[in-house]
Amino acid sequence: MVNLEEIKKEAKKILEEGKVKYIIGYAKSSNALMAAPTFVKKPEDIDKLIWDPTCFQNLVKFLIDEKRKKAREKEPDTRPIGIFVKGCDSRAINVLLQEKFITREDVYIMGLSCEDVGVLDKKKIFKKLKGEKPEKIEFDQRKNIVISTKEKTIKIPLKEILAERCLECTSSFPVISDVFWGDRNNRSPKEPFKCLEQIESLSQEEKWDFWQQQLSKCIRCYACRSVCPMCYCDECVVDSINLAITADTTAEEKAQKIKWIEKSPESSENFGYHLVRAMHLAGRCIDCSECERVCPVDIPIRFLNKKLEKVTKELFDYKAGLDPEQPSLVSSFKDEDPEDFIR
Amino acid sequence: MKKRTGVFVCHCGINIAGTVDVKNVAEELMKHSNVAHSEDYVYMCSDPGQKLIENSIKEHSLDSVVIACCSPNLHETTFRNCAKAAGINEFQCEIANIREQCSWVHKDKLKATEKAKKITHSTVERVVKNKSLEPISIPVTRRGLVIGGGIAGIQAALDMANSGYEVVLVEKSPSIGGHMIQLSETFPTLDCSQCILTPKMVEVSKHPKIKLLTYSEVQEITGYVGNFKAKILKKPTYVDPTKCTLCDECIDVCPIVVPNEFDLGLTGRKAIYIPFPQAIPATFTLDIANCPGLLPIACGKCMDVCEPEAINYDMKPEIIEEEIGSIVLATGYDLYDKENMKEYGYGKYADVLDGLQFERLLSASGPTMGEVLRPSDHKVPKEVVFIQCVGSRDPELHCAYCSKICCMYTAKHAMLYKHHVPDGQAYIFYIDIRSGGKDYEEFVQRAKEEDGLVYLRGKVSKIFEENGKITVWGADTLAGKDIEINADMVVLATAMRPAKGAEEFAKKLKISLDKDGFLSEAHPKLKPVESVTSGLFFAGAAQAPKDIPEAVAQASGAASKAIIILSQDQLFHSPMVAKVSLNLCTGCGMCVDVCPYDSLSLKDNKAEVNEVLCEGCGTCSATCLRAAIEVKNITPVQIYEMIDASVGG
pLDDT in tens, B163-188: 999 999 999 999 999 999 999 999 99
Q: Which residues from chain A sit within 8 angstroms of residue B602, using beta carbons?
A: 100
pLDDT digits (tens, 9 = 90+) for B212-262: 999 999 999 988 889 999 999 999 999 999 999 999 899 999 999 999 999
pLDDT value at residue A240: 65
Phi and psi (nearest 5°) for B459? -110, 160
Q: Which residues from chain A sit within 8 angstroms of residue B626, using beta carbons?
A: 233-235, 237
Tell me whether residues B593 and A280 touch, CB distance under 8 A: no
Our CA-based measurement puts residue B635 at a distance from the nearest CA of chain A, in whole angstroms, of 9
Give the largest CA-CA distance in chain B: 92
Kindly give the interhelix angle for B355-362 and B406-420, rounded to the nearest 10 degrees. Answer: 30
Q: Could you please report the per-residue DSSP string of A258-276?
A: ---S-SS--HHHHHHHHHH
pLDDT digits (tens, 9 = 90+) for B386-429: 999 999 999 999 999 999 999 999 999 999 999 999 999 999 99
Q: Judge whether residue B121 has pLDDT over 70.
A: yes
Q: Which residues from chain A sit within 8 angstroms of residue B623, using beta carbons?
A: 330-331
Pairing of strands A81-85, A23-27: parallel
Residue B352 lies in a domain: yes
Search chain B and give the residue with CA nearest A238: B626
pLDDT value at residue A256: 67
Tell me whether residues B583 and A245 touch, CB distance under 8 A: yes
Contacts of A68 (CB under 8 A, 6+ apart): none
pLDDT value at residue A244: 58
Give the start-to-end residue ranges of the domains of chain A: 1-119+170-189, 122-161, 196-343
Question: Are residue B438 and residue B538 in the same domain, yes or no?
Answer: no
Our CA-based measurement puts residue A309 at a distance from the nearest CA of chain B, in whole angstroms, of 18
Q: Which residues from chain B sit within 8 angstroms of residue A258, using beta carbons?
A: 627, 636-637, 640
The Cα-based distances of B587 to B251, B581, B618 in angstroms read 61, 11, 18
Question: Are residue B506 and residue B618 in the same domain, yes or no?
Answer: no
pLDDT value at residue A80: 96
Portion of chain B with pLDDT greater than 70, in percent: 100
Residue B645 lies in a domain: no
Search chain B and give the residue with CA nearest A68: B586
pLDDT value at residue B413: 96
pLDDT digits (tens, 9 = 90+) for B62-105: 999 999 999 998 999 999 999 999 999 999 999 999 999 999 99
Question: Are residue B626 and residue B504 in the same domain, yes or no?
Answer: no
Q: Which residues from chain B sit within 8 angstroms of residue A246, using beta carbons?
A: 583
pLDDT value at residue B649: 54
Q: Which residues from chain B sit within 8 angstroms of residue A71, using beta carbons?
A: none
Residue B643 lies in a domain: no
Nearest by CB: A233 against B586, B594, B640: B586
**Secondary structure letter of residue B547 according to DSSP:** -
Residue B597 lies in a domain: yes
Nearest by CB: B593 against A235, A253, A331: A331
Element (H, E) at B125: helix B109-128
Of B134, B164, B190, which marks where a domain is finished? B134
Q: Are the CB atoms for B521 and B530 separated by under 8 Å?
A: yes
pLDDT value at residue B60: 96
Residue B647 lies in a domain: no
Our CA-based measurement puts residue B398 at a distance from the nearest CA of chain A, in whole angstroms, of 21
User: Domain containing B399: what range?
Assistant: 336-497
Search chain A and give the residue with CA nearest B620: A331
What pTM value is reported for the model?
0.74
Task: List the alpha helices (DSSP H) in B229-364.
Answer: 249-253, 301-305, 355-362
Question: Are residue B483 and residue B364 in the same domain, yes or no?
Answer: yes
Question: Are residue B425 and residue B493 in the same domain, yes or no?
Answer: yes
Alpha-carbon span A133 to B44, nearest angstrom:
80
Residue B414 lies in a domain: yes
Of B566, B588, B617, which marks where a domain is finished? B566
Number of folded domains in chain B? Answer: 5
Alpha-carbon span A50 to A52, nearest angstrom:
7
Question: Are residue B413 and residue B506 in the same domain, yes or no?
Answer: no
Alpha-carbon span B284 to A287, nearest angstrom:
64
Instruction: Report the candidate in A2, A1, A11 with the shortest Cα–Cα distance to residue A178.
Output: A11
CATH of the domain at B341: 3.50.50.60
Of B103, B134, B165, which marks where a domain is finished? B134
Search chain B and give the residue with CA nearest A334: B594
Listed as ranges, residues in chain A with pLDDT below 50 are: none
The Cα-based distances of B231 to B238, B322, B332, B519 in angstroms read 21, 7, 20, 21
Search chain A and give the residue with CA nearest B594: A331
Mean of the per-residue pLDDT values for chain B? 93
Tell me whether residues B605 and A100 touch, CB distance under 8 A: yes
Tell me whether residues B593 and A327 touch, CB distance under 8 A: yes
One-letter amino acid identity for B28?
A: E
Tell me whether residues A256 and B587 touch, CB distance under 8 A: no
Phi and psi (nearest 5°) for B349? -105, 130
Say how many C-beta atoms besides its own lie within 10 A of residue B465's C-beta.
Answer: 15
Tell me whether residues B591 and A331 touch, CB distance under 8 A: yes
What is the count of residue pairs from A and B with beta carbons less than 8 Å apart? 57
Helices H / strands E in chain B, number of each: 17, 34
**Secondary structure letter of residue B240 according to DSSP:** -
Residue B158 lies in a domain: yes
Q: Which residues from chain B sit within 8 angstroms of residue A232, using beta carbons?
A: 586
ipTM score above 0.90: no
Search chain B and give the residue with CA nearest A96: B588
Nearest by CB: A237 against B588, B602, B626: B626
pLDDT value at residue B294: 81
CATH of the domain at B58: 3.40.50
pLDDT value at residue B375: 92
Question: Are residue B413 and residue B489 in the same domain, yes or no?
Answer: yes
Question: Are residue B122 and residue B162 in the same domain, yes or no?
Answer: no
DSSP three-state, residue B407? helix
Residue B340 lies in a domain: yes
